Amino acid sequence: MPSPCAHPSPASAEIAATAARLVVEEGLEYGPAKQRALKLHGKRGLPARDLPDNDMLEAEVRTYLSLFCADTQPAELAALREVALLWMERLAEFRPHLAGAVWRGTATRLNDVHLQLYCDDSKAAEIALLNARIGYDVGSTRGAGGRTVDVLSLSHPSAALGEPVTVHLSILDHDDLRGALKRDAQGRSARGDTAALRQLMKGSA
């Protein structure tokens, strides 16, 4: 972990600024955005110490949003959070938690909603969607420890955005919830439950 007194290198700052633009303008996740930025700057062999960390990239994303999207992003974020809240209420029995850019407050209309469901039975959420006749696609992603996590993806129309929003449901074990709410060095959580989301929406965070 870098020293709190360490300053980012010029290369790191350059990569972070470009990656932040890609995150906002193209809706890329942080990892792919950094890799694209490296390619664009011809710095694929950049030492790992010169790569911006996620905190640095998020700070650049927030700066970019404030400079270029201040008149549109807050409303788009609010619309995405409304979609997230609706599905969290629908799926309350599976202990839903919101993660990603919609939770952090950096999302625009290009972002998807990422919900994590902590289930006693890994198939229960899928069965609930089937019983409600809700169409979805099945995929997977890498979870903690490199294990494969099932992801159910569905589409929800947003009147506020005038287009559908993609909602991803990551299926996790109930026991995973214990470590999921740990806070980072800045006291921030990477995810929040329904009550926490309502509080964010109430404060327009």
**pLDDT tens digits, one per residue of 80-104:** 999 999 999 999 999 999 999 999 9
Window from 46-50, 65-69, 118-122 with minimum mean pLDDT: 46-50
Instruction: Give pLDDT, residue 170.
Output: 97
Total count of domains within the chain: 2
Instruction: State the pLDDT at residue 130.
Output: 97
DSSP, collapsed to helix, strand or coil, labels residue 185 as coil
Distance CA 23, CA 57 (A): 9
The whole-number pLDDT of residue 31 equals: 92
Does 188 lie in the same domain as 89?
A: yes
Identify which of 101, 108, 103 has the alpha carbon closest to the alpha carbon of residue 161: 108
Phi/psi of residue 3, each to 5°?
Answer: -65, 145
Confidence at 204, pLDDT banded by 50, 70, 90: low
User: What is the pLDDT, as a whole number, of residue 205?
Assistant: 46
Where a domain ends, among 31, 50, 68? Answer: 68
Positive/negative CA dihedral, 26, 166, 135, 151: positive
Are residues 110 and 33 both part of a single domain?
no
Whether residue 22 sits in one domain with residue 103? no
Residues contacting residue 199 through CB under 8 Å, at least 6 positions apart: none
Place of tokens 């850019």: 101
> What is the mean pLDDT of the segment spanning 176-193?
77
**Does the residue 162 lie in any domain?**
yes
Interval 2-25 mean pLDDT:
80
Contact 169, 153 (CB under 8 A): yes
Judged against a pLDDT cut of 80, whether residue 183 lies above it is answered with no
CA atoms within 13 A on the CB side of 68: 11
Residue 3 lies in a domain: no
**Whole-number Å distance between alpha carbons of 15 and 24:** 14
Residues of the domain holding 117: 73-203
Give φ, ψ of 170 to 5 degrees.
Answer: -85, 125
Q: Mean pLDDT throughout 175-200?
A: 82
pTM of the prediction? Answer: 0.89
Residue 4 included in any domain: no
What pLDDT, on a 0 to 100 scale, did the predictor assign at position 143?
A: 78
Does any domain span residue 111? yes
Same domain, 64 and 80: no
